[in-house]
Amino acid sequence: MAVAKFAEIKDHMLTQIEIGAWPEHSRVPSENELAEQFSVSRMTARRALQELTEQGILYRTQGVGSFVAALKSQSSLLEIRNIADEIQSRGHSYSAQLLQLTELPCPAVIASALGLKHQQQVFFSLIVHYEDQLPLQLEARYVNPQQIPDYIQQDFSHITPHLYLSQVAPLTEAEHTVEAILPDHFTCQHLQLKKPEACLRLTRRTFSRDGAVSLAYLTSPGSRYRLGGHLNFAPEKRS
Amino acid sequence: MAVAKFAEIKDHMLTQIEIGAWPEHSRVPSENELAEQFSVSRMTARRALQELTEQGILYRTQGVGSFVAALKSQSSLLEIRNIADEIQSRGHSYSAQLLQLTELPCPAVIASALGLKHQQQVFFSLIVHYEDQLPLQLEARYVNPQQIPDYIQQDFSHITPHLYLSQVAPLTEAEHTVEAILPDHFTCQHLQLKKPEACLRLTRRTFSRDGAVSLAYLTSPGSRYRLGGHLNFAPEKRS
DNA sequence: CCACAAAACTTGTATATACAACCAAAAGTC
DNA sequence: GACTTTTGGTTGTATATACAAGTTTTGTGG
């Protein structure tokens, strides 16, 4: 058997959800209906539903039915991931648009955060990250030119700044803050938000051995993105 | 059936692992052996093994067997603290107002998250946390009455639900998601927001050994609250 | 002893069946 | 109309069976 039947059913259901044929909280076919549609036994159809439920994609209620759970992009608080990897690991297509890559005099706040002097030159990049053609995150990043002198010559349409930086200057430390903000007009435009909506803004400052490397403002619409974390207090359950 | 057979097998195996009878990487009984020991079918024994594998407690290899996984050492990278402690550690005054403490039929989403049945009764509390007389957080919490039957009799003007729960049912696990939302009118009122502003909503689901204990929605105005974290990437040690 | 084949055992997938628990809506009753 | 009962659909648990796929052990022939 090339690919398991229950996996084919899962695939089909995931597709239906992704293309929007099955919206959030809508009912999905019952075990018996799926069994008939795919010419499998109920137990096999059940397995597909079961595993999707365990993945948090569906929720089920005995005696009622199975439904599509609220679907949002999610990244982990506990690991620092490349946004591109994150999107691709969900099976979606990733793309990015470079809006700016320049050198500019350092605003006071940035200078302080990166340990530079006021008005000293600093690298600045502005990138929109897309998940399936929909803007997921606006990345505004200031980079310490003393530590990464070649930053401004990179081609960030093929490598994310985060990935590049972690290759060039191994991170030793990172500092995060998470805020909820209402984006300004400029941000709304680039995130293709018709009306301002609540956004998550992750501020990330990274350090290498020699000090602060970069300060990034990562802004994502609250309706498209959330952060997730899983903490274990007992050494007996999953990562 | 009071408790499912596959659950009994899981319990037994968890106990064996916890007391050290089955050390790390040791082989556990095969599907057939468990089936005979517990007088169940292979499929039922298989389910116990399967679920323990999904929880990361076992690992299995086709043709070889099932084994106890390595216990994970835990570093809580991002610690989400008791709101009262947090406020007081900033040198501000903390107070709380209890708005509701009732029992109500369980909405489907809550039931699913807490492992309860639809429409089953669930405890619900609604509390506003104040920092220096200014509302900082609205806490809406659903509590599993099977695990915390006395929840509804507590005096939450003198102890936070989070603190009470962690005393009564030691947490083994917590799951968090962070979102940015625009609060509804009701939430705005209790947070004393004249105009709706972007809010951080922290959803926290806590577990004890017997399953999900509570699900809390913690909503704070973006202008008054943010989450901070600090991650260290110490050199990895590999043997 | 070695090489190879066969057997035994393990996990993985799939089916057909049965019954229990639960829910919602329809049907019946007062 | 209000209430109760029934009924059909749905998920949850459990069993017996079969075969596939992978690994280890055993056995056999050379």
Long-range contacts of A149-155 (CB under 8 A, 24+ apart): A151/A123, A151/A125, A152/A101, A152/A102, A152/A103, A152/A123, A154/A101
As given in the structure block, the two tokens for residue B98 are: 């209890």
pLDDT of residue B233: 39
pLDDT of residue B89: 62
pLDDT of residue B80: 60
* Strand D bases within 7 angstroms of protein beta carbons: 8-18, 20-24
One-letter amino acid for residue B235 of the chain: P
Which residue ranges of chain A lie beneath pLDDT 70?
A: 1-2, 70-81, 89-91, 170-173, 209-210, 228-239
Higher-confidence position of A184 and B234: A184
Tell me the CA distances in angstroms from A200 to A181, B2, B116, B175, B196, one per residue in order.
6, 45, 31, 19, 16
Q: Do A77 and B111 touch (CB under 8 A)?
A: no
Q: What is the distance between the alpha carbons of residues B214 and A163, in angstroms, rounded to a whole number?
A: 38
Q: What is the distance between the alpha carbons of residues A183 and A218, in angstroms, rounded to a whole number?
A: 12
Percent of chain B with pLDDT over 90: 33
Closest of B202, B102, B97, B82 to residue B145, by C-alpha? B102
**Mean pLDDT on B64-93:** 66
Q: What is the distance between the alpha carbons of residues A60 and A27, in angstroms, rounded to a whole number?
A: 10
- φ/ψ of A204, rounded to 5, equals -125, 125
Q: What is the distance between the alpha carbons of residues B44 and B10, in angstroms, rounded to a whole number?
A: 11
**Mean pLDDT on B92-97:** 85
Closest of B140, B156, B220 to residue B188, by C-alpha? B220
The pLDDT tens digits for B14-67 are: 888 878 899 888 999 999 999 999 999 999 999 999 999 887 788 898 888 998
Burial track B59-85 (b if 16+ CB lie within 10 A, e otherwise): ebeeeeebbbbeeeeeeebbebeebbe
Q: Is the pLDDT of residue B137 over 50?
A: yes
**A216 SS3 class:** strand
pLDDT of residue B24: 85
Pairing state between β A73-76 and A225-232: parallel
Q: What is the distance between the alpha carbons of residues B232 and A174, in angstroms, rounded to a whole number?
A: 6
Least confident of A167-176, B172-181, B184-193: A167-176
Q: How far is the CA of B106 from the C1' of D4 (A)?
A: 25
Our CA-based measurement puts residue A104 at a distance from the nearest CA of chain B, in whole angstroms, of 28
Residue with tokens 């076992």: B58
> CB–CB of B5/B44 below 8 Å?
yes
* Residues within a 7 A CB radius of strand D: A 1, 30-33, 42-43, 46, 49-50, 60-66; B 1, 4-7, 39-44, 47, 61-64
**B225 SS3 class:** coil
pLDDT of residue A191: 95
What residues of A are in contact with residue B76 (Cβ under 8 Å)?
A: 231, 233
DSSP codes joined into one string, A60-102: EETTTEEEEPP--EEEESSS---HHHHHHHTT--EEEEEEEEE
β-sheet bridge partners, residue A122:
A104
Tell me what percent of chain B is helix, strand and coil, each rounded to the nearest 5. Answer: 25, 35, 40
pLDDT of residue A79: 53
As given in the structure block, the two tokens for residue A133 are: 């053609």
| List of E strands, A31-185 | 58-61, 65-68, 73-76, 94-105, 121-131, 134-143, 173-181
Mutate to test the interface with A, among B22, B197, B202, B233 (most CBs of A within 10 A): B233
Q: Is the pLDDT of residue B187 over 90?
A: yes
Q: Is this model's pTM higher than 0.85 or not?
A: no
Closest of A173, A190, A27, A232 to residue A100, by C-alpha? A190
**B161 SS3 class:** helix
Q: Which domains does chain A have, with CATH numbers?
A: 5-68 (1.10.10.10), 73-228 (3.40.1410.10)
CA atoms within 13 A on the CB side of A223: 14
> CB–CB of A110/A212 below 8 Å?
no
The pLDDT tens digits for A69-79 are: 865 555 555 45
pLDDT of residue B172: 65
As to burial, measured by CB atoms within 10 angstroms (0-12 exposed, 13-18 middle, 19+ buried), residue B153 is exposed
Q: What is the distance between the alpha carbons of residues B120 and B127, in angstroms, rounded to a whole number?
A: 22
**Mean pLDDT on B124-141:** 91
pLDDT of residue B228: 65
Q: How far is the CA of A10 from the C1' of C16 (A)?
A: 22
Highest mean pLDDT, choosing among A108-112, A127-131, B90-94, B168-172 = A127-131
Our CA-based measurement puts residue B56 at a distance from the nearest CA of chain A, in whole angstroms, of 5
Q: What is the distance between the alpha carbons of residues B104 and A16, in angstroms, rounded to a whole number?
A: 35
> Strand B27-28's sheet: what is its strand order?
B27-28, B65-68, B58-61
Residue with tokens 């807490």: B114
**Mean pLDDT on B209-235:** 73
